[in-house]
Structure 1
Amino acid sequence: MNVLILGSGAMGCLYGAALHRAGCAVTLVDVNREHVEAINARGLELERRSGTELLPIPARLPEQVPNVADLVVVFTKTFHTDTALQGIAQAIGPETHLLSLQNGLGNDARLAKHAAPDRVLVGVSSLPADLVGPGKVRSHGEGGTKLYPAFGADPEFARRIADLLTEGDLSASLEPEIHTAVWSKAIFNAAMNPLCALTRRTPGFLGAHEESKAMIRAVVEEGAATANASGVAVDPQPIHDLTVVSVTDHADHEASMLQDVKAGRRTEVDAINGAIVLAAREAGVAVPVTETLWRMVKLEEAKLGH
């Protein structure tokens, strides 16, 4: 299978490595020239709890992608999705499947602008990963992947992807209730990511203070109420449980929003907290803590303009 990883930062490299181990012809695609050149010069260095691998996976800038892909796995920031897919339009044919493992809500609709709906897959990942330098990725922590066709298509291709990921040592499974899973992941991120970004601390710090734990609990409850009022059944308890795993097993992981704020980059808060707030307004649900965190992170982003 010819696979492109579109957005080959930490998570993209982690998944590209798994599909490479499973025998796919993987190409890592990214706009970070230094990162691309480092991978091509010495291979992708991936550090996991089981050890460190050096994997000979080719990396390309978007304009260097020559062939039509069977699968494009999208890991770009949500606000870059359209531009990134347009940048590899030459690689998207009528049989190409697109899989979003991105954060936030609405990724299925974004991908459907670039492929037929029956070729669009969405999924969620609970794995941590950090980019520690050009061509070097670290992933210390356990987790898995759930995926399914976004619009009710035949799940056979999604099953193949799940099997390949599992064969490549990243546990993956089909999830027919994928929209529940996507909402649950967005709610988890809405609770954890902004607080990491605003405090400039990792989840272990949040788990050590009652102030942050109270806000995390509130956002989970607000998000679950919004999802249910929007017609997506979400039980808040598994999300509460996952936040406990985050502050313990992933205590030192730098959340993506924290990485963005530290680097002076725009965050994905609009697709996470912002999307939940907008859905809550439509459904008539009050989400004061979720909205406050959204606006606080937007103030952090406003500093970038100065």
Structure 2
Amino acid sequence: MKWDLIGGGALGLMFTARLLRNGEQIRLWTRTSEQAEELRQKGLFLIDRKGVQQHYSNIHAYALHEVEHVLKRSDEPIKRLGLFIKQTSFTDAFMKQLAALPVEKVSSVLCFQNGIGHDERLKQLFSENVLAMAVTTEAAKRTSSHEVTHTGEGETWLGNPIDPNDHEVREWCNLFKQAGFQAFVSNNIEDNIYRKLIINAVINPLTALLRLRNGELLRSEKRLQLMREVFEEVIAIYRLQGIPVHADEAWDNLIRVCSATASNTSSMLADVLAERTTEIDAITGQLLRIADTHDYNSPAQTYLYRSIQALDPAFLS
């Protein structure tokens, strides 16, 4: 069985490599023809958690804008599709490329995204019944277009918001388990998404603004105090919106993830350092929109949102 994955970033390459190691048939769709060509010519290199380099050749990688031509040539339709892209990639151009897929033949779309809001765009193309969500605390760093390092082990939760017993979700979960990931089917994936959003809303903007690795947030009382202030606002917004949350448990989980990924550079910090647009709008921006509907003043969220936006190259001219 062939599995189609979209995304040549760190997470997409790392999952692709691990699945290839398990003998799975993977077709990887990238943003550029150059990356696809390099993967086909040089193969995919993965440095695993033990520091051992692994090499995978015969990579079936193609640029997404070539999808119609590739599918006609191969006569292999896309059945199961995994999205390993950032929220910032959900552009009109990307949605147009997705629309070129034979969407009526796709039986499952699994979305690995930070933040919230992407599902609404995807519902314009796919039936809600085939849309599944995934959250992961696995961490990876892409060192070139065909090289990736697995920097942190974590858990991956998958679920279909419409059907908790979705057979396709269980197929994805089994796929990841067989590749050595800690993967679980969630009966309420939205809860998992909102738990992950707390982590993203605290760690990502603070590390990006302060230029710190994740673990460095824990090294002083002042930094911990900042984390707590941002965290408390998120909890307050959740409660106003009626999102179930246990504050003590959520705080302990935040500290645990921050410690477990201590040496990691958050995706938002990586984007800032590379002068790329960040996912701040899909994370803090979405929280601010919820707060606005309740007339709730959230100064920490507002400051972080404006500060990270001010670093966006799109606003520098």
TM-score range, shorter chain: over 0.9
CA distance in 2, matches of 1:89, 1:27: 18
Q: Which residue in 1 is equivalent to 2:97?
A: 87
Structure 1 residue 132, shift from structure 2 partner = 1.0
Q: 1:156 to 1:260 in 2, by over 3 A?
A: same
Confirm or deny that 1:194 pairs with 2:205.
Answer: yes
Cα-to-partner distance string for 1:87-132 (whole Å, 9 max, x where unaligned): 1434343131211111101122122112111010111011111111
CA distance in 2, matches of 1:303, 1:81: 16
Q: 1:55 to 1:245 in 2, by over 3 A?
A: farther
Confirm or deny that 1:252 pairs with 2:254.
Answer: no
CA distance in 1, matches of 2:263, 2:235: 26
CA distance in 2, matches of 1:69, 1:303: 34
Which 5+ residue runs of structure 1 have no aligned equivalent?
A: none
Matches within 5 A, 1:100-139: 100-139=111-150
Q: 1:73 aligns with which of 70, 82, 86?
A: 82
CA distance in 1, matches of 2:182, 2:85: 22
Secondary structure of the 1:3 match is: strand
Q: Which residue in 2 is equivalent to 1:36?
A: 36
Report which stretch shifted further, 174-183 or 87-96: 87-96
Q: 1:220 to 1:29 in 2, by over 3 A?
A: same
Larger Rg: 2
What value does the CA root-mean-square deviation take over the aligned residues?
A: 2.0
8 Å CA contact 1:227–1:234 kept in 2: the answer is yes
Structure 1 residue 239, shift from structure 2 partner = 3.3
- Taking structure 2 as the reference length, the TM-score comes to 0.89
Q: 1:236 to 1:14 in 2, by over 3 A?
A: farther
Could you list the structure 1 runs, at least 4 aligned residues long, displaced by more than 6 angstroms after superposition.
none
Cα-to-partner distance string for 1:58-87 (whole Å, 9 max, x where unaligned): 211112332331122112221322532421
Structure 1 residue 33, shift from structure 2 partner = 4.0
Report which stretch shifted further, 128-137 or 197-206: 197-206
CA distance in 1, matches of 2:56, 2:80: 20
Residue 256 of structure 1 aligns with an amino acid whose one-letter code is S
8 Å CA contact 1:226–1:276 kept in 2: the answer is yes
Structure 1 residue 173, shift from structure 2 partner = 0.8
Which 5+ residue runs of structure 2 have no aligned equivalent?
A: 72-76
- Taking structure 1 as the reference length, the TM-score comes to 0.92
Structure 1 residue 214, shift from structure 2 partner = 1.2
- The number of aligned residues is 306
CA distance in 1, matches of 2:2, 2:96: 19
Q: Which residue in 1 is equivalent to 2:290?
A: 279
Report which stretch shifted further, 272-281 or 66-75: 66-75
Structure 1 residue 206, shift from structure 2 partner = 1.5
Secondary structure of the 2:152 match is: coil
